[in-house]
Amino acid sequence: MELRHLIYFITVAEELHFGRAAERLQMTQPPLSKQIQQLEDEMGVVLFKRNKRHVELTTAGEFFLPEARQVIAQLDQAVETAQRAQRGEFGRLVIGFVGSATYDILPQFIREYRRQFPHVAVILHELSTPQQVSALIGGRIDLGLLHPPVSSTLIESVPVKKGFAALSLSKNDPLARKKKISIEDLRNKSFIVVSREIWPGLYDEFLSLFKDAGFRPKIVQEATEYQMVVGLVSAGIGIGVVPATAEKLFNLEVVYREIDSHPLRAVLSMAHLKKNENPALKQFISLTQKIVNRDPS
């Protein structure tokens, strides 16, 4: 039995007239009659009572009609599902992100994506930048929100948020009373920074800033994420270097200040494996690019 046999049967059953059914199907009547006969022979069932003036369904035909319609409907649904999956409207998307992204652009990305693509399962994993690079190459995540640069040639990476870093200080630090902090104010201070392995761009820019001022900052502790930096700052260990969005952590023991006339950049990039052909990934990238272009910051 072929699919066309079901379509022919349903059309004849609806018209109860081979001539009109053939016209609907854009074919001549003799081939249509032959196809119906083939279907009946294959099933071993008479589906129509017919003579030169009259066509009607047999009891078997009446029972077969809703089943045939259901098969066609299920097929149409299957085709639509496959087409929607190809368009990225169904499926699964696994996203890795650094902790700072949760206080930045990630919530907006996810909120808008889930609104437009509610049938895609979005799975989120908080991972450091090196962990994301490894997971992207290993196919364990589809997309990463991480700190550049990304050295692997297998990965495509583009900036999606260009912000700034700030100093986080214990509220008991004398410098916390100053609105503007100069490089010289920091000469003998202890610092807590996110390690270079985790955030190479910010780490190198921080060292370069002090090198230009003629001294090297005293780094007493390196952390794996900036939430840890803020915690150590509140404990009085030193001054932290964090993205300005860290203020959203709402820690009453910590204040945030910029270095006067020496802004530090805090860039967040979106990365994916170049050969990843997940349709849901393509839709996510397209959507986030629209968001970034709408609010370029």
pLDDT digits (tens, 9 = 90+) for 235-267: 999 999 998 888 877 677 899 999 998 888 888
Predicted confidence at residue 164, as pLDDT, reads 87
- Spell out where the chain has E strands: 48-50, 55-57, 91-97, 120-126, 143-146, 155-170, 190-194, 218-223, 239-243, 254-257, 264-273
The number of residues in the chain equals 297
| Tens of pLDDT, residues 97-121 | 998 888 778 999 999 999 999 989 9
CA 181 – CA 189 distance, rounded (Å): 12
* Global pTM value: 0.69
Predicted confidence at residue 297, as pLDDT, reads 56
List the CATH code of the domain at 163-266: 3.40.190.10
Do the domains at 91-159+268-294 and 163-266 have one common CATH topology? yes
Predicted confidence at residue 134, as pLDDT, reads 96
CATH topology of domain 3-86: Arc Repressor Mutant, subunit A (1.10.10)
List the CATH code of the domain at 91-159+268-294: 3.40.190.10
User: Does position 90 have pLDDT exceeding 80, yes or no?
Assistant: no
Average pLDDT value for residue range 16-38? 90
Predicted confidence at residue 296, as pLDDT, reads 58
Give 103 or 90, the one with higher predicted confidence.
103
